[in-house]
């Protein structure tokens, strides 16, 4: 079955993973800018990373017939450093010209500090100024509800912001309602232990319906599953859901959201 993984940190994955994803029907991935597991020392480090995900990674994916797109930002794990954020934000507009950049992301908060929220707000302002889509990271574990609430309240302060151009990712059972009720898109990330399991993701599709919900692997340098989306397809089939419903969640929904960027073009 064809699918799009809207959240995959492919810089951390091997070429074998691209191969397996292609074999299981992946037609495109989108790669949010991310924390490498350690803090970068300078804005130059981010610039190299932006070159990696706007130039090298699309070429690597193309060898397997997979479209590779990306999102740019200084991620929430490094958002506490306001001076570094200022320097990195100044370098982003240049890369927005790249043909595979879809928007600003994954921005958000980590431990929900004042500095993190200020850095988040600066990114939102940049996205609105350049009319970019926005992909938002919500915090992990005990910080998720609080961070999601704070993010939604911050976005609510901007009347020019269109919720339909924002995807608030890593939703779980206690945050999905507030995201959808406010008109945003959301993502269920199928990540072992700290995010959403296959069965809980299927539960949420059953409870809330398939509108404005996407699923993704969020595969990265940690223990994660680059084939999580086709595994989700199997979980939905296991319950007897229709192929049309599954296709909507794993393909049509991401096409609808991502297609709002003129840079998102799927090859036939």
Partner 1 sequence: MERHSGTCPLTRRQIVDEYFIESRNRLLEIAAFLDRLERAAPESAERDFRVQAFEAALRLLCDDEPARVQRVQMLLSDPSTQLKAKLDQKSATGAHDHWCGEEL
Residues that bind partner 1 (CB under 8 A): 77, 80, 110-117, 139-146, 149-150, 153, 172-174, 177, 180-181, 199-200, 203, 206-209, 238-241
Query: Phi and psi for 232 in degrees, rounded to 5?
Result: -65, -40
* Per-residue CA distances from 211 to 21, 164, 172 (Å): 25, 12, 16
Work out the burial of residue 253: count CB atoms within 10 Å of its CB; fewer than 13 is exposed, 13-18 middle, 19 or more buried. buried
Report how far residue 97's alpha carbon sits from residue 50's, in angstroms, rounded to the nearest whole number: 12
**47 or 247: CB nearest partner 1:** 247
49's tokens: 């990373």
Minimum CB–partner distance for residue 205 and partner 1 (Å): 8
**14 or 199: CB nearest partner 1:** 199
Q: Do the Cβ atoms of 192 and 226 come closer than 8 Å?
A: no
Minimum CB–partner distance for residue 21 and partner 1 (Å): 26
Minimum CB–partner distance for residue 5 and partner 1 (Å): 24
**64 or 208: CB nearest partner 1:** 208
Minimum CB–partner distance for residue 267 and partner 1 (Å): 34
Place of tokens 């296709």: 247
Minimum CB–partner distance for residue 94 and partner 1 (Å): 29
**57 or 116: CB nearest partner 1:** 116
Task: Rounding to the nearest 10 degrees, give the CA dihedral for residues 57, 81, 116, 55.
Answer: -10
**60 or 149: CB nearest partner 1:** 149
């Amino acid at each position: 079955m064809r699918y799009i993984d809207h959240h995959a940190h492919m810089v951390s994955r091997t070429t074998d993973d691209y191969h397996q994803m292609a074999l299981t029907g992946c037609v495109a991935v989108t790669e949010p800018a991310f924390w490498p597991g350690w803090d970068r020392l300078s804005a130059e480090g981010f610039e190299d990373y932006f070159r990696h995900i706007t130039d090298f990674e699309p070429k690597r994916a193309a060898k397997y017939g997979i479209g590779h797109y990306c999102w740019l930002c200084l991620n929430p794990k490094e958002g506490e450093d306001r001076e570094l954020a200022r320097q990195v934000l100044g370098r982003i507009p240049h890369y927005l010209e790249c043909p595979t950049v879809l928007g600003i992301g994954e921005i958000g908060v980590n431990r929900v500090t004042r500095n993190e929220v200020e850095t988040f707000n600066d990114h939102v302002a940049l996205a609105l100024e350049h009319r970019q889509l926005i992909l938002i990271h919500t915090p992990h574990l005990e910080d998720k509800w609080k961070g999601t609430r704070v993010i939604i309240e911050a976005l609510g302060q901007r009347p020019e912001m269109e919720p339909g151009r924002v995807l608030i990712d890593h939703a779980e059972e206690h945050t999905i309602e507030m995201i959808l009720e406010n008109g945003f898109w959301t993502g269920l990330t199928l990540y072992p232990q700290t995010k959403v399991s296959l069965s809980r993701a299927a539960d949420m599709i059953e409870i809330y319906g398939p509108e404005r919900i996407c699923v993704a692997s969020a595969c990265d340098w940690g223990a994660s599953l680059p084939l999580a989306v086709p595994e989700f397809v199997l979980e939905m089939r296991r319950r007897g859901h229709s192929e049309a419903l599954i296709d909507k969640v794993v393909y049509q929904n991401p096409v609808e959201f991502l297609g709002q960027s003129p840079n998102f073009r799927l090859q036939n």
